Amino acid sequence: MSEIVVSKFGGTSVADFDAMNRSADIVLSDANVRLVVLSASAGITNLLVALAEGLEPGERFEKLDAIRNIQFAILERLRYPNVIREEIERLLENITVLAEAAALATSPALTDELVSHGELMSTLLFVEILRERDVQAQWFDVRKVMRTNDRFGRAEPDVAALAELAALQLLPRLNEG
């Protein structure tokens, strides 16, 4: 296989529907880009971290509502939002459950799990934006290959395990074109 070109976009580059489309333009302007890595939409990570700190019901609802509003502002501008609505709803429900758990007892592991939902939602939305442009984009759940040590909040990747799992699960998909 030839060299893999990776594009990485931070939170402001995927902050909203228009920003995601500008990022999609960048990806599509270079035929060599084979893999796109995204952060959570701007503001989402801070909201998730706040939820992980364990909030009272009123504050928790406010943060959950803000997350929902940011993601649904993107979702509702898709031509076919129902394609991924159920998955976004499932992730939002999981965030709610985790935030309720954090209100009882916080932990670095719970924080990491909560925060990961930001990237899950932004990647699902971004893939759908690409598909609506007739791009054969595939969503890949990095949790299938990412392995770290158990230092929650400051975890280091297990590069050997990551390389092995990526060779088994990610590279074949990239080789398919």
Confidence class of residue 177 from pLDDT cuts 50, 70 and 90? low
Residues 64 and 117 in one domain: yes
Query: Does one domain contain both 66 and 9?
Result: yes
Are residues 147 and 61 part of one domain?
no
Q: Are residues 171 and 116 in the same domain?
A: no
* Counts of helices then strands in the chain (DSSP H, E): 7, 2
Residue 140 pLDDT: 87
What are residue 133's phi and psi, to 5 degrees? Answer: -100, 15
Average pLDDT rounded to a whole number, residues 127-140 = 95
Domain co-membership, 97 together with 14:
yes
Cα–Cα nearest to 138, from 96, 169, 97: 169
Residues 144 and 130 in one domain: no
* Whether 88 and 9 share a structural domain: yes
pLDDT digits (tens, 9 = 90+) for 1-60: 467 889 999 999 999 999 999 999 999 999 999 899 999 999 999 999 999 999 999 999
Task: Tell me which amino acid residue 25 is.
Answer: D
With a cut of 70, say whether residue 95 has pLDDT above it: yes
44 and 33: one domain?
Answer: yes
Angstrom distance (rounded) from CA 131 to CA 120: 17
> What pTM, to 2 d.p., does this model score?
0.91
User: With 70 as the cut, is the pLDDT of residue 90 above it?
Assistant: yes
Q: Do 132 and 147 fall within a single domain?
A: no
State the average pLDDT for the chain: 93
CA gap 156, 120 in Å, rounded: 20
How many C-beta neighbours within 10 Å does residue 144 have? 11
Residue 164 structural domain: 140-177
How many structural domains are present in the chain? 2
